[in-house]
Amino acid sequence: MYNEIDLDKIDINSEPPEKEPDRQYYFMAKCRKWVKDFEQKNGRLPKAFVLNMGCQMNARDSEKLKGILLQMGMEAAEDETADLVLYNTCTVRDNANQKVYGRLGYLQTLKKKNSHMKIALCGCMMQEPEAVERIRKTYGFVDLIFGTHNIFKLAELFFQCLVDSAMVVDVWDSTDKSVEQLPTERKYFFKSGVNIMYGCDNFCSYCIVPYVRGRERSRPSKEILKEIRELAKDGVKEVMLLGQNVNSYGKNLAQEQICFGQLLRQVNEIEGIRRIRFMTSHPKDLSEDLIAAMRDCEKVCRHLHLPLQSGSSRILKLMNRRYTKEQYLELVERIRQAMPDISLTTDIIVGFPGETEEDFLETLDVVRKVRFDSAFTFLYSKRTGTPAASMEEQVPQELVKDRFDRLLKEVQRISSQVCMRDAKTVQKVLVEDENDHQKGYVSGRLSNNLLVHFPGDASLIGQIVPVELVEAKGFYYIGRQQSGSDAG
Ligand code: 5AD
Ligand code: SF4
C-alpha cells in the first residue's frame, strides 16, 4: 500500500530531501544501514516491539509504525525484550496514562539488561504537555517522544535517537498535512482499517480527544477509494472506515461536496471488498441519507456503534452532546425500521459531574428500551483541560461505583438475550484466527460483529464461509461449517 521504493538505491550520504515522503524513505535507508551494522556486530537483527494501547485509530497508526520499522529491516518482537520498544499511547481516561507510567518502571529494568535498548512513546498521551513534562522529569531513560500528528516521521526521529544521546522530543500542536504514502504492516492480510478523517470538532465536555487529535480533517474521497482499491487487490475483504466522527465526513472538504453516505455507496462498488464497517458515529450527525446508504449497500455490515454516553437529557446537555434522550430513541427507531436485523452497540459514561440517581435511572431506561447488543461502560474520568474537569459536583466514588455495577449487570443481562437471536440459523462468517483455547477450532465474525467458534483449520483464515450457529453461548456462538464456497 505504498510506492515500492528500493531503499538500497537511496544515496544516504547526500543531504536529506525536504519533500515528504521522500525524506522518510531517506531516513529509512539510513536506519537500514544501522540495522546492517548492528547485525554484523551482534550476529542478529535488532528487534522492534510496537504496543498499541488505544482505539482502532491507534491500532491503524501502530500498523503504520510497524511498517516503517520492518521496512528499515528490523525484526518484529513479540514482547518488550527488544532493542526498540514503542508504546502508542491513549489518554481518553486517566487509567490509560497510569498504565503507561506503570509499564515504564518495567522497561527501565529491561533497559539495564540491554545496552542497545531504545524506549519510545508516541500517540495521544504525548500530546498532553503535563504528561511529557512528567516523563522528562521522572523517566529520563526514555529516548524518544512524539505525538499523533507526526507518526510518519518515525524513521527520521529514530535515526536522531541513534546519533543523539539526549531524549528526542517532537510533538506538534496541530497539522494540516497527512503523509500517507508510507509502508504499512497489516495485522490481518484480509482486513484493514482505512482513515477517512482525522481529528474531532465536537468538544464533548468530558473528552480530551479534540485536544490531542486536533481539528477535523477529511481525506479527499479519491484518495480513500484509491487506497481501498489497492487494499482489495492485495487480498483485503473487509475495511473499517475510521474517524472520530465519521458521520460528519466531508463537511470540511474544500475541493469536493460529499457526505459519508455517498462515500459508503462508492466503497460498496469496489470489487473484492466484501464487508464494510465504520467507527465512530455521533448520533447528532447520523442523517437519513446515511441510514438509506447503509440499508442499500449490501456490503455494509449489520452493525452500528452509536455512543449514547448518558440517557438523561440534562446530562447530555452538560456533556455538549447536542441531542436529547428522546432524539436518541427516535433515531434508533428509524434505524431499526430501515434495518430490522441491525446490531446496536454503545458507549456509556457513569458519574459525569452532577449526575443524580434520577439521571442515572434515565440511562437505565434507555438501555432497557433500546436493548443494545453490547455496551462499553466507563467510569467518568476527569481530564485536565476539558470543561467538565472544572464542573463542580463531581460525584462521590462509591456512588459512581454502585451505579456502574448496576448498569453493567443490566447491560449484560440484556446483551445475553439479544445477542443470541440468530441461534440455529446459517450465517456468513469471516474467519480471523485459529482458536487459542480449543485445538482444531477457528474463530470468525458475523456481519454484526459477534464471534463464532467452529471446527476448522488455518486454511480457512481470511475466507467468508457459511456457518450454522449451533449453540448460543451468551456472547458468542459455537458453529458448524456448512458446504459452500467463499465466492460472492
Ligand atoms: N471519562 C470516561 N469515559 C470517557 N470516554 C471519553 N472520555 C471519557 C472520560 N473523560 C468514553 C466515551 C467514548 C469512549 C471512547 O470513551 O464513552 O465514547
Ligand atoms: Fe485513546 Fe482517543 Fe487517542 Fe483513541 S483517539 S487512542 S481513544 S485518546
pLDDT at position 123: 97
- The protein residue whose alpha carbon is closest to atom 13 in ligand 1 is 347
CA of 153 to the centre of ligand 2 (A): 20
What phi and psi values does residue 117 have, to the nearest 5 degrees?
A: -65, 130
Per-residue model confidence as pLDDT tens digits over 66-82: 999 999 999 999 999 99
Lowest mean pLDDT among 118-132, 277-291, 473-487: 473-487
Give residues (CB < 6 A) around ligand 2: 54-55, 57-58, 90-92, 124, 209, 212-213
Looking at residues 158-173, what average pLDDT do you find? 95
At residue 5, does pLDDT exceed 80?
no
CA of 102 to the centre of ligand 2 (A): 19
Q: What is the 3-state secondary structure (H, E, C) of 78-118?
A: CCCCCCEEEEEECCCCHHHHHHHHHHHHHHHHHHHHCCCCE
Per-residue model confidence as pLDDT tens digits over 408-442: 999 999 999 998 899 999 999 999 999 989 999 99
At residue 1, does pLDDT exceed 50?
no
pLDDT at position 462: 97
Report the predicted TM-score, pTM, of the whole model to 2 decimal places: 0.94
d(CA 118, CA 164): 12
CA of 114 to the centre of ligand 1 (A): 37
d(CA 142, CA 168): 9
pLDDT band, residue 488 (cuts 50/70/90): low
Q: Which atom of ligand 1 is nearest to the CA of 280?
A: 18
pLDDT band, residue 486 (cuts 50/70/90): confident
Q: Determine the residue of 90, 92, 315, 346 to mutate for testing ligand 1's pocket, defined as the one with the most ligand atoms within 8 A of the Cβ atom.
A: 92
d(CA 228, CA 272): 10
Backbone CA torsion sign across 65, 67, 72, 75: positive
In this predicted model, which residue has the larger pLDDT, 151 or 174? 151
3-state DSSP: the chain helix, strand, coil percent, rounded to 5? 40, 20, 40
pLDDT at position 459: 96
CA of 303 to the centre of ligand 2 (A): 21
Per-residue model confidence as pLDDT tens digits over 195-254: 999 999 999 999 999 999 999 999 999 999 999 999 999 999 999 999 999 999 999 898
Q: Determine the residue of 57, 88, 386 to mutate for testing ligand 2's pocket, defined as the one with the most ligand atoms within 8 A of the Cβ atom.
A: 57
DSSP per-residue string spanning 435-474: -SSSTTEEEEE-TTS-EEEEE--GGGTT-EEEEEEEEE-S
Q: Determine the residue of 97, 98, 209, 246 to mutate for testing ligand 2's pocket, defined as the one with the most ligand atoms within 8 A of the Cβ atom.
A: 209
At residue 178, does pLDDT exceed 80?
no
Backbone CA torsion sign across 306, 373, 370, 382: negative
Rounded mean pLDDT of the chain? Answer: 95
Measured CA distances, 406 to 32, 149, 368, 474 (Å):
54, 39, 13, 19
pLDDT at position 130: 95
At residue 58, does pLDDT exceed 90?
yes
| Furthest C-alpha separation in the chain | 69
Ligand nearest to the CA of 379: 1
- The protein residue whose alpha carbon is closest to atom 18 in ligand 1 is 347
Q: Which atom of ligand 2 is nearest to the CA of 57?
A: 4
Per-residue model confidence as pLDDT tens digits over 33-49: 999 999 999 999 999 99
CA of 177 to the centre of ligand 2 (A): 20
Count of Cβ atoms closer than 10 Å to residue 469 Cβ: 23
d(CA 382, CA 311): 20
pLDDT band, residue 3 (cuts 50/70/90): low
Q: Determine the residue of 207, 355, 390, 394 to mutate for testing ligand 1's pocket, defined as the one with the most ligand atoms within 8 A of the Cβ atom.
A: 207
Beta-bridge partners for 75: 47
pLDDT at position 487: 66
Distant-in-sequence, close-in-space partners of 317: CB < 8 Å, separation ≥ 6: none
Ligand nearest to the CA of 388: 1
When computed from its CA atoms, the radius of gyration of the chain, rounded to whole angstroms, is 24
In this predicted model, which residue has the larger pLDDT, 5 or 229? 229
- The protein residue whose alpha carbon is closest to atom 1 in ligand 2 is 90
d(CA 236, CA 272): 7
**β pairing state of 426-434 and 464-472:** antiparallel
CA of 92 to the centre of ligand 2 (A): 5
Cell numbers representing residue 324 in the block: 436529547
Which residue in this structure is represented by grid cell 548492528? 38
Ligand nearest to the CA of 124: 2
Q: Determine the residue of 50, 52, 58, 208 to mutate for testing ligand 2's pocket, defined as the one with the most ligand atoms within 8 A of the Cβ atom.
A: 58
d(CA 460, CA 432): 8
Amino acid at 389: A
CA of 131 to the centre of ligand 1 (A): 19
Ligand nearest to the CA of 380: 1
pLDDT at position 182: 84
- The protein residue whose alpha carbon is closest to atom 16 in ligand 1 is 92
CA of 66 to the centre of ligand 2 (A): 18
Cα-based angle 252, 258, 264 (whole degrees, multiple of 5): 120
CA of 129 to the centre of ligand 2 (A): 16
d(CA 217, CA 177): 9
CA of 126 to the centre of ligand 2 (A): 11
Give residues (CB < 6 A) around ligand 1: 92-93, 206-207, 307, 309, 347, 349, 378, 380-381, 383
